[in-house]
Copies of this chain bind each other. A is one copy, B any other.
Amino acid sequence: MRVEIREVGLRDGLQNEAPVSLEAKALLLDAVVATGVRRVEATAFVSPRAVPSMADAEQVAALLHRWPGVRFSALVASLGGARRAVAAGITDLEYVVSAGDGHSRANVRIGTEEATEQVAEVAAVVHDAGGSVEVIVATAWDCPFDGPTPPERVLRIVERACELGADELAIADTIGTATPVRVQRLIGAVRDRVGPVTLGAHFHNTRGAGLACAVAAVGEGVLRLDASAGGLGGCPFAPGASGNIATEELVYLLQDMGIETGVDLQRSIDAARLAQDVVGHLVPSNLLRAGDRKR
């Protein structure tokens, strides 16, 4: 069995940090590519006012030719973002739709339904450029504004997204509140609704259950998981620390479970250490401090 890890440290991990230099991002890209990971979400084309650390998206895009053989993608939250990404040469996009209406309006000033309908235009833009679009359903289990997300809202988004041209899907626990049973139920229901489309999952370790959710998702047929080097995006000091699951912890977990990832654990720990240096504060990965086990 093989599960693909998508490294999202450079996007989700860095987006809430103070901006880091382009040179630091290049070093980090070098390190994550050296781990063996072959999908990397490299940046986001979003409002530079709202997310200053992604303001250099075009410059990051211009670096990516350095690492042939890696599939780089970018996150967008609007048609304008998709156009910017494609103009910058990134044609594999993640387009986010929040299942929580409150979160959607707070993030992109339109509700879930309107954001879902935009899949058509985003898909047209990337398909014209020979690329692909994955629709990520954010706040799929809980919304920080609306509370628990009715599963039917998620199912309607994925169904409609497929009709409108989404090439892949991912289900995201944006605020790190999911646990295995809810993961099984929702992912199982999504799978039933959309059939054989490629389905990824995206978890945060905000309440400690990130890897437990990842295991549950894999059990439901999810074959791609997002993770960030060192658990970038969180910090053991910060209230509400909410990094993604840490890539190296996920690699250890899957490897120990006999699941192939193509990612080297020791290099993944090296990348995590570099990620920590880049942000200049402790990242929440336990494995980074403990290291691999004696084999």
Contacts and interface: CB of A to CB of B under 8 A. Distances in A.
A284 B245 CA distance: 15
Contacts of A282: 236-237
B142 A290 contact: no
Contact of A294 (B144, B246, B285): B144
Contact of A286 (B206, B253, B294): B206
A179 B257 CA distance: 7
A72 B48 CA distance: 56
A253 B209 contact: yes
A131 interface: no
Given A206-B286, A207-B286, A179 B291 contact: no
B215 A294 contact: no
Nearest to A242: B290
A157 interface: no
A-B pairs with the 6 shortest C-beta distances? A236-B236, A208-B249, A179-B256, A212-B212, A177-B293, A181-B257
Contacts of A182: 256-257
